A and B are shown apart, each in its own frame.
Chain A
Amino acid sequence: MSEPIARRKIIMDYRIKASKCEMCGKVYFPPKSFCNLEGRVSKVVESDYFYSKGIFYSGCVIRKPTNKFNYLKSFISCIVSFDNGAVKVPGRITDYRLNNDDEIDITQYIGKGVIPRFRRIYDDGNFGLIYYSSFNFSFEDDYYPYQEYKVVKPSGKSDKPGIIGYGIYIPKFRIKGDENSRELGILERALPFADEDATTFAVEAGKRALIHSAINSQYIKKCYVGSESAPYVVKPSMATISQVLELGEKFDDGFFSGGVDAQFACKAATDLIIDAAALVNYPTFNGEYVMIIGSDNAQAAPNDPLDFSVGAGAAAFIIGKRDVIATIDYYISYTSDTPDFYRRDGCEYPKHGGRFTGEPAYFKHVCTVMKRALKDTNLSPRDINYVVLHSPNAKFPMAAALQVGFEKDQIEPGLIVKKVGNLYSGSSLAALGAVLDISKPGDKILMVSYGSGAGSDAYLFTVTKNIESKRERLIKVQDQIENPHREYVDYYTYREWKTKNHPL
């Protein structure tokens, strides 16, 4: 394919864009400029099905795919109808694994609800473009429940900026911890399906954050994405996310919004929360909100010690001043050039300094900001309800927090690393999400991130009463961890799905 074709596909395929006749209501996909029935006297308007639920109309199990889809082996392709059959589109069922060679009775799926997912479709080899679309669907009664996106008019504005809403995305597939993982306190880990990467995670988390906060995406004028496994070295995943989630005011086929992909190992996203808070206070920033996403398909070389701890997932937070669910009360950052973990350009996997990543790196930075935060805020560990830390494993955060004077029960709720693995850029943010899921108005949460290289950020949040009314729109972290539809894979599948660049 080519770059211009890719651009045209992006406009239509990222959100399932169709057109609808204003006179007779007939819907066309692909969109067209006039209605076949009413002719050119009628106006056609754009409609999209990104947040809609479709119905499985028919399909089949592809066992001998085209070369572009060989990486998926066998899968279900389908025809999906929307709007009570007003329009049909082709799609693929994702997060679906064929377990045997027996014929599958495809008619059993006809009539089932399906939900669009933004996923990879294929790429032009390891050096070419990656193509994404939302023509990938998961069954409504599978891992992901359907959520409606409904904008609610904000009721109030606070002086302090804070979190408006959030979305945590943990993929469906897991690998059980072996003895190496269990030694690190990790019982199971999340991994991407074959068509997922850090960008698709980010979109899913961002979508959930929008649904949770119930704000109009056009008021988000900045998006920061922190990742160390972005699919492109050069080409912003922020632009993809912004195009899919329609962040900012629409103009032509683009959007008045900005943002960047940031890199600071695992703390690229958390470092920018304070910048987001500053921005929403800045008089000439013409937006209301900033979206921050930490997303990683955490990478590790095969059989490296990291290969027994890495997970996959993303966390998205929306920062603003309207209907804040947790105010940002304090921030501090601490940085030193400590070469504990790094990856050179062109190198597929990161390298690290083994035991050097512990005491002089993680513990030094994390404990320094925790102690300083307590000192500056005149709080003792007892005054804080929850402490959430970057979690490369379950042992480090527990040891660091205990060292500073926190108790186990303040740390435990944020230790989701035990069940999802190290989410790299999403680690401390997803842990923050898990704690917000259960916190009450007035609770104080100390979040401490860590990024190799090295640095730590500490933020103190105070939960507000708004958290209760927004909770019904959440997909809670614990529900994802315990989701009965999660599926386990073996080490071979885990490596195959995690590695996105395949031999040419």
Chain B
Amino acid sequence: MDKRLYRTPYAAIVGAGRTKFGELWYVNPEKLLTEAGERALESVDHGLRRKDIEACFFGSFLNQVTNKLALMPGYMSRELGINIPMTSIEAACASGGSALYNACISIKSGEYNVVLVGGIEKMTDRVNKIIDDMMFACDSHEFDAGFTFAGLYAAIMARYIYEYGRGNDKCKEALAQIACKNHHHAVNNPYAQYRFEITVDKVLNSPLIADPIRLLHSSPITDGAVAVILVKPELAKKYTDTPIYIVASSQATDDISLYSRASMTKMFATQMAVEKALKESKLSIKDIKIAEVHDCFTIEELLFLEDSGFVEKGKAWQVVYESYNSFNKSKHIPYVNNGCEMIVNLGGGLKADGHPIGATGVRQVYECFKQLRGEAGGNQVDIDGDLNASLCHNIGGTGGIANVHILVRDL
């Protein structure tokens, strides 16, 4: 791999913090975000104080609905005791990634040197209304057709099976194996919501929620918050000896409605955002050794493998099937295609680490930051050769928006 990059990185990450993910009944959302922010500040090796932060970008989807909470900047000004510019960004499940994208641009523009990016969601406060609320991320006609969020992904999965895996049980098995792999990865992640193994059999016998999607194909309802601190690349070494550089920050959008897309078995926004990010970073998908992928439902992880160009169209289920069966005894289970390896969702992904919607995009960056710095503890990935590049893929709704960030340790 040619490690020389021809573009200046967008930003450097010098600190990251997160809360435990799960059912956090006793915390208000603003306190949860503050906790993540404090941990991010404390994690900066050479120290960074609150007053050094020049701006904040927060990602969240449903605070106004789940907690009747708007104007997050005002809450966070109170919590952090600072009066700097702050912006809330809503892009459904891609809120966190979108906050990060805007933070990158703000640093790149030269306006700020130090920015805090936070992602937060408090889903359990809505109890049984959250299934309805999730549909805010979809076209109202999809709601009126009775679709749930899981239902829309089930329609994608059904179409994928129809086009590429009809009559082949291995395709269905592969869609279950993705969940098993991600649970396996979460076992050593102390912050994950589900730190236990599941089997293919268990997935395929779990309750149906939207045929062909079963409960264990799906990411859970989660509370949680994550924060990272971004600085101007030139200043990175002032805060840490091992900054992680964001060398690509890209975003693409697509029609909000799943039904309007020319193809339901690919995410055009993902494809565009990945292409742009790889071009910006002068990397190929083969250079990406670890990736945090948006596996809200297992079918989406499968689609990413194809949309990113790692596997040719319609073949991802075969790669998943072969890889899982070959490597399911490993600490981390890689996907292997034509001699290239990529480990996906090292912390358990949305499926097992949890999916507090607005926090997810930031959590992905947190995970890569820790892995690239060798700080993932018991969950540290062990790769032959040099681990340098990682990719974060965060999408909103059923593909109405996609954010892709590429992180590297060494420029």
Give residues in A with beta carbon < 8 Å to B.
9, 13, 29-30, 57-69, 72, 75, 77-79, 88-92, 101, 103-107, 110, 121-122, 131, 133, 135
Contacts and interface: CB of A to CB of B under 8 A. Distances in A.
Interface in B135-170: 135, 139-148, 150-152, 154-159, 161-162, 166
Contacts of B128: 67
Interface string B306-344: 000000000000000000000000000000000000000
A78 B131 contact: no
Nearest to A98: B211
Interface stretch (B65-73, B93-101, B185-193, B254-262): B254-262
Interface of B: 128-129, 131-132, 135, 139-148, 150-152, 154-159, 161-162, 166, 207-213, 257-260, 264
A60 B260 contact: no
A108 to B, nearest CB: 9
* Best-surrounded residue of A61, A63, A75 (most CB of chain B within 10 A): A63
29 contacts: A29-B260, A57-B259, A60-B152, A60-B158, A62-B147, A62-B148, A63-B207, A64-B148, A66-B131, A66-B143, A66-B146, A66-B148, A67-B131, A68-B132, A68-B143, A69-B146, A78-B155, A79-B155, A79-B258, A79-B264, A90-B141, A91-B145, A103-B208, A103-B211, A105-B212, A106-B212, A110-B159, A121-B146, A122-B144
A107 B129 contact: no
Contacts of B260: 29, 88
Given A60-B211, A77-B147, A106-B211, 15 more contacts: A58-B155, A59-B155, A59-B158, A60-B147, A62-B148, A64-B150, A66-B146, A67-B128, A68-B143, A77-B155, A90-B147, A90-B258, A103-B211, A106-B158, A135-B141
A155 to B, nearest CB: 42
A492 to B, nearest CB: 23
B180 to A, nearest CB: 19
B339 to A, nearest CB: 33
A64 B210 contact: yes
Nearest to B153: A60
Contacts of B162: 58, 107, 110
A9 B141 CA distance: 9
A68 B147 CA distance: 11
B132 A66 contact: yes
Given A59-B158, A68-B132, A107-B158, A101 B145 contact: no
Nearest to A85: B262
Given A110-B162, A135-B144, A63 B135 contact: no
Nearest to B128: A67
A80 to B, nearest CB: 8
A96 to B, nearest CB: 11
Contacts of A13: 141, 144
Contacts of A101: 208
B208 A90 contact: no
Contacts of B148: 62, 64-66
B387 to A, nearest CB: 39
A482 to B, nearest CB: 31
Contact of B264 (A57, A89, A103): A57
A60 B141 CA distance: 16
A350 B350 CA distance: 55
Contacts of A75: 146
A72 B147 CA distance: 12
A294 B18 CA distance: 64
Contacts of B259: 57, 79, 88-90
B144 A133 contact: yes
Contacts of B135: 66
Contacts of B129: 67
A215 to B, nearest CB: 31
Contacts of B147: 60, 62, 77, 90
Contacts of A79: 155, 258-259, 264
Contacts of A88: 259-260
Contact of B141 (A30, A106, A110): A30
A61 B129 CA distance: 20
A78 B85 CA distance: 44
A59 B213 CA distance: 11
Contact of B146 (A58, A62, A105, A110): A62
Instruction: Name the residue among A59, A61, A67, A79 with the largest chain B CB count within 10 angstroms.
Output: A79
Contact of B159 (A57, A61, A62, A122): A57
A92 B131 contact: no
Contacts of A68: 132, 143
B360 to A, nearest CB: 22
A18 to B, nearest CB: 11
B144 A63 contact: no
A89 B260 CA distance: 7
A30 B142 CA distance: 12
A125 to B, nearest CB: 15
A106 B264 CA distance: 15
A77 B213 CA distance: 13
B161 A107 contact: yes
A204 B22 CA distance: 49
A110 B132 contact: no
